Amino acid sequence: MTVSTRASESIDARCYCGGNHLPQDHWEFLESMPNNPADWVSDLVKMGVYTSDSLDLAKTLTQVDMREALLLKNISGGNPAREQFCRDLIKEAGGLDQAMAAAFGVNAVEFFGNTIRNGDFSRREFLKRVAVAGALVAMASCSQDASQSGGADPAAEAEAPSNLEKTDLQIGFIPITCATPIVMSEPLGFYEKYGLNVSVVKMPNWAAVRDSAIAGELDAYHMLSPMPIAMTLGLGSATFPVKLASIENINGQAITVAIKHRDTVRGPADFKGFRIGVPFPFSMHNLLLRYYLATGGLNPDTDVQIFPVPPPDSVAKMTADELDAMLMPDPFNQRAVFEGVGYIHMLTKDLWDGHPCCAFAASQPWIDENPNTFRAVNKAIIDAAGYADDPANRKDIAAALIDRQYLNQPLPVVEAVLTGEFEDGLGNTLNVPDRIGFDPYPWKSFAKWISSQMVRWDLMSADGIDYDQIAQDIFLTDLAAELQTELGQTPPSEAERSESLMFDSFDPSDPASYVATQIEEFGQ
């Protein structure tokens, strides 16, 4: 919301706190009021809260140009209950325009005089609108700095902790939409909100992220969700303890096929003989691709060639006819469509709706040295994830991500991924709003499914494996839930759940039986 300087100066100082809450005196007042907006407004009028003082205010204020959706977004702070309450208030007033015009319009005093002459009913209606407008302005003032110019500031509610061990941080990322909460937190101010000065460092590939983490060159990392498990257990690298702090994105990947195969690929069996790129061996992309191919009777280790390709190189390799297909993070699936070299065969959402992809992670030694900083940066990213998960914010986020230092992609490509309104490369325009989501909760069932598939495909030994211990030690589910609660988000009350995939269901209480059933049914 943009409020004029004159307006911000005239509002009672008690209404302006700059935090993400009303001041204590506001809460004490509000808690004594009815929950029903109509009763609330009626009581305010009866109590004389909005009388001549409100009219004096109307004399000095210029008209505020507000759009209802923007106002609600600012006031609610992502809290659906608070947003609905404000919607009810606006409805009581007969609309936002009427409420604001009555309270702050240049003709408010003249209108008030007319309402008095027209009778008590219209006077009450006028005061109702003034009351609603005043309440909305007070709530909005407590949600952000009303004196700032410009549009909505998603990170304006700042309560930076004062006990941070370190404030200047470097977080490595791969330029993909999966990294949205980590990357957007720099330009949109979420790190600054928590007292942090973070530089996000673009990395060329996942091996570089892993090696920089082990070498101590980064403070924290954007990682594929299987990587903390692999690194902690010493799979593919030296053993290095890494914690998965929160999930960056769910869904958000696709199987993309070179356009030359558009008439030949209908299902998993049709991929036989293909050269297929994935971003890293220890990735959801590799595990989901193998899961899909096996259901078509293919052995992923002998019937196709699967090899790691850095996501930024994937479209160029498909253009050069070095890839027949790929299961990549976006925006590179959409970029292949944009360039006319590939088409989207399947969104991974259709393989497993709600599956994890990337994560925010940090090493155990770094967490031990910087516990308060770790908590602050994790909270900033979870906060950003909540903001990014709101479809209303996706276009603004896309605009922030496309810069050269971040994703360096055309805006239509990133918007197509984040909004779910996209071309599939076969002449179809699709609308899949949850093509990508940003739910930060790290279900422990995610860790168990990942571990089960690494066992299935001999990426990890089954001897002595303790699925429960892996999930408990590496996925910081309890901490993520605690931070979500502090932010007003609503995390699940359970740590794990049954996962429903396209071809089966995963029971996290018995991963070993799940793997045995897969091998029995599909032969691999």
The pLDDT tens digits of the residues spanning 280-304 come to: 999 999 999 999 999 999 999 999 9
Give 257's strand partners. Answer: 325, 343
How much is the pLDDT for 506? 98
Q: What is the separation, in whole angstroms, between the first and last Cα of the chain?
A: 56
The percentage of residues in the chain with a pLDDT greater than 90, rounded to a whole number, is 69
Cα gap 200→220, rounded to integer Å: 10
Global model pTM greater than 0.85: no
How much is the pLDDT for 400? 97
What are the tens digits of pLDDT across the range 300-342?
A: 999 999 999 999 999 999 999 999 999 999 999 999 999 999 9
Cα gap 212→3, rounded to integer Å: 46
Convert 273-282 to b/e letters by CB count within 10 Å (16 or more is b): ebbbbbbbbb
Amino acid at the residue 244: L
Which has more confidence, 22 or 361?
A: 361
Residue 475 has pLDDT above 50, yes or no: yes
Residue 112 has pLDDT above 90, yes or no: no
How much is the pLDDT for 88? 73
Average pLDDT over residues 66-95: 65
Cis? peptide before 331, omega within 30° of 0: yes
| Non-local CB neighbours of 388 within 8 Å, separated by 6+ positions | 180, 181, 184, 394, 397, 438
Residue 91 has pLDDT above 70, yes or no: yes
CB 57, CB 9: distance < 8 Å: no
Cα gap 166→179, rounded to integer Å: 23
Which has more confidence, 351 or 138?
A: 351
Residue 415 has pLDDT above 50, yes or no: yes
Q: What is the dihedral of CA 235, 241, 247, 250, to 10 degrees?
A: 0
What are the tens digits of pLDDT across the range 345-389?
A: 999 999 999 999 999 999 999 999 999 999 999 999 999 999 999
How much is the pLDDT for 75? 64
Residue 127 has pLDDT above 70, yes or no: no
Cα gap 479→198, rounded to integer Å: 21
Q: Which tokens in the block code for residue 397?
A: 């986020």
The percentage of residues in the chain with a pLDDT greater than 70, rounded to a whole number, is 71
